[in-house]
């Protein structure tokens, strides 16, 4: 997209900056580098996906309903991390554009950026505590973001000189906001159905080793929060069996 944008600028008489050619070369090099990194990244993601089922079983047991709810929360957690780029940064970008162009009310996207970042923490807290009111507040923030993003996208779109990057970035942000809304509602519908003991999150959480088969601690949601110190296959298998034995005594409703 950057290469297309730069070529468009070079083809018009409005921009006579000689640095555009240098920018185009750098953008082409960056695009080629990203394309090369795509191959090993895809391989790593594939290997991690193969191990996902076992990690889920080790954390929540063999109950299919709980595994499905855990998968939904895992997807929601990943979406929230992506939203920090597609929601927070785009509002900062809009605020800078409004300030540079002398636009009206540049403080609106600036305030929305802070509100979106705060909302991402609220969403994680809502899922961890299974708090309906916090989740509803997060949903309201998402709806507000969709409104502000749509308004700013309309303001910054010019028929005579469209800026492709803004169109793509803004449209993708709207799409991600809709996906976030769908998953937040889906997670809220699963509140109170037995997943809470298996989901842990705190802003300043500490790593929790899983080296003892006698521990009763609940495991955190993110794999990055878990320290696999002194990890062995035997300990891991024994802990999974004990966790399954404990969870088998509970009755989970079906959905």
102-124 confidence digits (pLDDT tens): 666 778 888 888 999 999 899 98
Question: Could you report the per-residue pLDDT of 165-210, keeping only the tens digit for each?
Answer: 788 888 899 999 999 999 999 999 999 888 888 887 766 554 443 3
d(CA 224, CA 77): 12
Half-sphere exposure of 2 (CA within 13 A, CB side): 13
Q: What residues pair up with 227 in beta bridges, in sequence order?
A: 209
What's the pTM? 0.68
Separation between Cα atoms, residue 112 and residue 88, nearest integer Å: 8
Q: For the chain, list residues with pLDDT below 50.
A: 206-234, 254-255
Q: What is residue 76's predicted lDDT score, i.e. its pLDDT?
A: 92
Q: Could you tell me how far CA 250 lies from the centroid of its own chain?
A: 31
Q: What CA–CA distance (Å, rounded) separates 120 from 77?
A: 9
DSSP reduced 3-state for 130: coil
Domain boundaries, the chain: 69-197, 200-247
């Amino acid at each position: 997209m950057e290469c297309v944008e730069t070529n468009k600028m070079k083809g018009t008489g409005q921009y006579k900056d000689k640095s555009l050619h240098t920018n185009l070369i750098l953008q082409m090099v960056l695009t080629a580098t990203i394309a090369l990194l795509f191959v090993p990244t895809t391989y790593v993601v594939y290997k991690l996906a193969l191990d996902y089922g076992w990690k889920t079983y080790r954390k929540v047991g063999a109950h299919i309903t709980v595994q499905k709810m855990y998968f939904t929360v895992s997807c929601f957690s990943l979406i929230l991390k992506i939203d920090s780029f597609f929601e927070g940064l785009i509002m900062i970008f809009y605020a800078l554009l409004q300030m540079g162009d002398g636009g009206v009310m540049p403080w609106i996207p600036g305030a929305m950026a802070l509100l979106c970042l705060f909302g991402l923490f609220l969403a994680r807290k809502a899922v961890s505590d299974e708090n309906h009111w916090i989740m509803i507040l997060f949903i309201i923030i998402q709806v507000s973001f969709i409104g502000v993003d749509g308004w700013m996208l309309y303001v910054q779109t010019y028929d005579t000189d469209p800026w492709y990057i803004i169109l793509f970035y803004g449209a993708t942000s709207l799409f991600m906001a809709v996906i976030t809304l769908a998953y937040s509602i889906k997670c809220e519908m699963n509140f109170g159905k037995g997943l809470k003991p298996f989901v842990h999150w705190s802003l300043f959480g500490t790593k929790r080793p899983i080296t003892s088969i006698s521990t009763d601690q609940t495991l955190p949601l993110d794999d990055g929060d878990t320290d696999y110190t002194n990890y062995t296959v035997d300990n891991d298998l024994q802990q999974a069996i004990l966790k399954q034995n404990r969870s088998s005594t509970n009755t989970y409703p079906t959905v």
